[in-house]
Structure 1
Amino acid sequence: MKHYQQQPNAFPNDYLNNLWGEIQACPYFAINNLNRDFVCTKGFSVVFQRSHLTQVEQQFPYFKPYLDLALQPHCNAFYLNPLQLKEGSRVDPHIDRSLRSYCKTIEPPLVVSVLYVRVPTNLEGGELVLRSPKRQLGQIKPQVNTLVYFQGDLTHSVNAVKTPGNRLSLVCEQYSLTEVELQEIPPFIVESRAVQSAKKQRK
């Protein structure tokens, strides 16, 4: 893969409709737990090692078709997150290293996969922009049911969404870690502001 590739018509349409409904209904789905680069976005995150893939699929069975297709065989740790943007939302330029909160020395993922689950009609803005240090490598306009893979070491951003409606993607950072690094990564954990809020209320 040179920089990125796109796979259109990745899934049956009824799977996308089910995925949309399940994510919206998920109790973890809330204002994003990601960093300040993710402006006015919603989502939650699932951290897991390949050894616990079955556990992920048991708790989130609607992710299984995506994981079966998207996960790369040479990767062993993953950061999976539904990401929803609405009018006024954007994602500022960054390089993914979401597992760094567990392992400080971690390198960027080998690859990032993005499935566009829902895109507003006549979407303005919301493009995925990929850059190297020296130049722009691509600007991808979201298309429903397109699965995009891009190199994990690329700087990327999402332009501000200018139209009403929801732009929902399912993103997975895919890492190839050493045994030492793997020891610092949770085998399986869900990160969500909804969980944090519930814990605060119980206190």
Structure 2
Amino acid sequence: KYGAQVHVVTRHEVPLAKQLGERIGRCMRELHERKGVVFHGPTEVERFLGEDKVEAVQLANGEKLSTALVLLGTGVKPATAFVQGVPLGKDQSLKVDAELHVAEGLWAAGDIATFPHDGRPVRIEHWRLAQQLGVIAAANMLGEQRRYNDVPFFWTYQNGRTYEVLGHARDWDRIEFVGEPEKGDFIALQCIGEQVEAVIAKGYSDAMATLSQRMKRSLSLEEALQLIG
């Protein structure tokens, strides 16, 4: 937008394919490429080059990119080293019960917490969920017995387009599309068999609002398609 030449170095050929699926990920990549973004990968940054300031980036595949500015997206890990006396998970998170209780007098919320959702432990790195869990933990500190019973929701803004995600599908074996992501608005239903695990959409705001409530309990693909219309 400001006239800079943008290069993206990534370990994955298709961005967000693990979260959104190959087809949607390719559409996102093609959108950015049409805007002039150049992708490099699968590869990774090997080292920075320059005297006193960055002048280039050396990639593991042998490429060298001249640049004066580097933005790193390096991921996160739970900042729980200060917590003593309770076991940590393999990912260094705190395991909480349905009321976000870790141990006597201790609650945890946000992306440091692994909590039960839909019968399985999850740790979700969405700031909106952190806000919701924080409210629940605070209420329970005051003697209430609240539990998270909402549907995880997040969005990503990509070059003028907003993609929304309902649910948290760690696995799926099929994706059912309403509309075509290559052409415009669409809804994609990530399913295991005939069970909807998560929904991805561009547009379809009314249907997404309806699904955000209906997905608080088990939802079949057939019913989801009926709700979408």
TM-score of the superposition, structure 1-length normalised? 0.23
TM-score (norm 2): 0.21
Considering fraction of residues, name the structure with more strand: 1
Give the greater-gyration-radius structure (CA). Answer: 2
